[in-house]
């Protein structure tokens, strides 16, 4: 029986099992892994994860899918958590997740990944399927259109280990855009990463404005303080956020 996808939840169910082999390869799954999956949908990926990993935490918002994943509820190494992944305390899961592997709902992919960088300190590797535009954004270079706050945060917290374009035909219903699998692994976080994150998000909040103006509008510092901090790291006060390298944001946050 086909299950209608809910557009408001960003649902696009995996319908091509060949892509599971790619996900498994990029995720480097092993019997000791504890996997976090957000948006399992009908459980196509969840079943593969459960066969390969020691434990799977699957977080699903749409409770109406429960009858379609009844077999997963019976598996000893699978915990199904019903609710909004952005509202649940994912860090409290037991056992603690070590890998994040998911076909992420398009409408929450960026905030979930951004929050997991510091919010899930036990996660060492991510393998996520996202909209191609989002995938390009994760590791975008400065001074490009795709470069933004999430680019800075992901590049400060991780290094990319894999990338695989995914055609829209592997989903039911097919989305209007192509997707991509992105794999990355954790590197040591900069000190005071939550403060760095606030500065990064404030810097890109008003992309067309200069950095001092954007930071001042956020309330993190005055325009004058932000301009002085930019000068201290060798940047002019008319600089915009997209011009700075990720490590320059760390220096800016420390100076502020």
pLDDT tens for each residue of 207-236: 899 999 999 999 999 999 999 999 999 999
Q: What gap in Å lies between CA 111 and CA 188, rounded to an integer? A: 20
Domains of the chain are 7-186 (3.40.50.150), 193-255 (1.10.8.100)
In 3D, which of 216, 217, 211 has the Cα closest to residue 238? 211
β-sheet bridge partners, residue 80 = 58
Question: What mean pLDDT, rounded, does the chain reach?
Answer: 92
pLDDT tens for each residue of 96-143: 999 999 999 888 999 999 999 999 999 999 999 999 999 999 999 999
Q: What is residue 2's predicted lDDT score, i.e. its pLDDT?
A: 56
Q: What is residue 169's predicted lDDT score, i.e. its pLDDT?
A: 81
On the question of pLDDT at 4 being above 70, the answer is no
Contact 103, 45 (CB under 8 A): yes
Q: What is residue 1's predicted lDDT score, i.e. its pLDDT?
A: 41
| Mean pLDDT computed over 37-64 | 95
Least confident span in 80-84, 103-107, 163-167, 182-186: 103-107
Q: What gap in Å lies between CA 241 and CA 208, rounded to an integer? A: 9
Model-level pTM?
0.91
Q: What is residue 176's predicted lDDT score, i.e. its pLDDT?
A: 79
On the question of pLDDT at 6 being above 50, the answer is no
CA 198 centroid distance within chain: 17
Q: What gap in Å lies between CA 149 and CA 218, rounded to an integer? A: 14
Least confident span in 65-79, 165-179, 182-196: 165-179
| Mean pLDDT computed over 30-49 | 95
């Amino acid at each position: 029986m086909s299950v209608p996808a809910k557009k408001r939840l960003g649902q696009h169910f995996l319908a091509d099992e060949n892509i599971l082999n790619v996900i498994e390869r990029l995720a480097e799954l092993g019997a000791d892994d504890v996997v976090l999956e957000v948006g399992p949908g009908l459980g196509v990926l969840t079943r593969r994860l459960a066969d390969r990993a020691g434990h799977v935490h699957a977080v699903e918002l749409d409770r109406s899918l429960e009858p379609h994943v009844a077999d997963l509820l019976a598996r000893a190494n699978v915990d199904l958590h019903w609710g909004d992944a952005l509202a649940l305390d994912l860090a409290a899961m037991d056992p603690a997740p070590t890998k994040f592997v998911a076909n992420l709902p398009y409408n929450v992919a960026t905030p979930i990944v951004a929050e997991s960088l510091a919010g899930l300190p036990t996660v060492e590797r991510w393998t996520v399927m996202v909209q191609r535009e989002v995938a390009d954004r994760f590791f975008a270079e400065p001074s490009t259109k795709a470069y933004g706050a999430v680019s800075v945060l992901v590049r400060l917290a991780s290094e990319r280990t894999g990338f695989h374009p995914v055609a829209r035909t592997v989903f039911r219903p097919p989305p209007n855009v192509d997707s991509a699998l992105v794999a990355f692994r954790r590197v040591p976080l900069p000190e005071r990463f939550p403060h760095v994150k606030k500065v990064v998000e404030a810097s890109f909040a008003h992309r067309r404005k200069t950095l001092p103006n954007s930071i001042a509008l956020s309330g993190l510092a005055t325009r004058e303080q932000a301009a002085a901090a930019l000068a201290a790291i060798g940047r002019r006060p008319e600089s915009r956020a997209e011009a700075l390298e990720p490590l320059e944001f760390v220096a800016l946050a420390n100076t502020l």
